[in-house]
Amino acid sequence: MKTFRTVLAALVCTLVLLSTMQAQNKYVGTKMCGMCHKSDKQGKQLDIWQKSKHAEAYKTLLTAKAAEYAKARGLKKPAVESPECLECHTFGKTVDASLFEKGFDIKEGVQCESCHGAGSQYKSMTVMKDKAKAGAAGLKLYKDEAEIQKFCKSCHNEKSPAYKEFKYDEFWAKIKHTVPKG
């Protein structure tokens, strides 16, 4: 009887695990998002992001300055291979590679899905047009400006060896990519 219960418990655990795995969103990459978010009418998010420092954040880890910071921190590996640097220069936290779809490229640094969440399940037009549906499918929705600021500061903080005081209004103005009204 006891073995039966153990087996049953293990089976339930496996099923729960499988179902959460299936529900897991994958990262599709900026090209996919950019397909729809590049026109004047949509607000040219792709273009604005490409010109921002966020798009360079991975490449920055290949510079001499980065090597200097990595050395100063006593890292064993180059900056570009160190989770201690990658966590902010690509994602809020380092992500398992099995969650990357073919179009995803870590070299694109801090990208759409770093801030909006993995897009495999919300990227279709029908879901995207419906904010509630998109939210339910993994699009990260921010309650208010305070929540956005808190999120920015999860990377823009003193743990960064290159930290500059984070002035929200000034910084947001540099990366703002709203959909035009009307």
The answer to the question of residue 32 lying near ligand HEC (CB under 6 A) is: yes
Residues 58 and 90 sit within 8 Å (Cβ to Cβ): yes
Q: What is the dihedral of CA 151, 41, 134, 31, to 10 degrees?
A: -80
The answer to the question of residue 127 lying near ligand HEC (CB under 6 A) is: no
Q: How far is the CB of 98 from ligand HEC (least distance, A)?
A: 18
Q: How far is CA 173 from CA 52, 117, 130, 152, in A?
A: 11, 22, 27, 13
Between 9 and 163, name the residue whose CB sits nearer to ligand HEC: 163
Per CB under 6 A, which region of 3-11, 13-21, 85-93, 97-105 contacts ligand HEC? 85-93
Total Cβ atoms within 10 A of residue 10: 10
Report how far residue 18's alpha carbon sits from residue 57's, in angstroms, rounded to the nearest whole number: 34
The answer to the question of residue 66 lying near ligand HEC (CB under 6 A) is: yes
Between 15 and 179, name the residue whose CB sits nearer to ligand HEC: 179
Residue nearest to ligand HEC (CB): 119
Q: Which residue among 26, 44, 106, 113 contacts ligand HEC (CB under 6 A)?
A: 113
Residues 79 and 65 sit within 8 Å (Cβ to Cβ): no
* Residues near ligand HEC (CB under 6 A), total: 68
The answer to the question of residue 57 lying near ligand HEC (CB under 6 A) is: yes
Report how far residue 133's alpha carbon sits from residue 16's, in angstroms, rounded to the nearest whole number: 23
The answer to the question of residue 175 lying near ligand HEC (CB under 6 A) is: yes
Please enumerate in sequence order all residues whose Cβ is within 8 A of that of 6, keeping only pairs 6 or more positions apart, or say none: none
Binding site for ligand HEC (CB under 6 A): 28, 30, 32-37, 45-46, 49, 53-54, 56-57, 60-61, 63, 65-66, 69-70, 73, 75, 79, 82, 84-85, 87-89, 91-92, 110-116, 119, 123, 125, 128-129, 131, 134, 142, 148, 151-152, 154-157, 159-164, 171-172, 174-175, 177-179
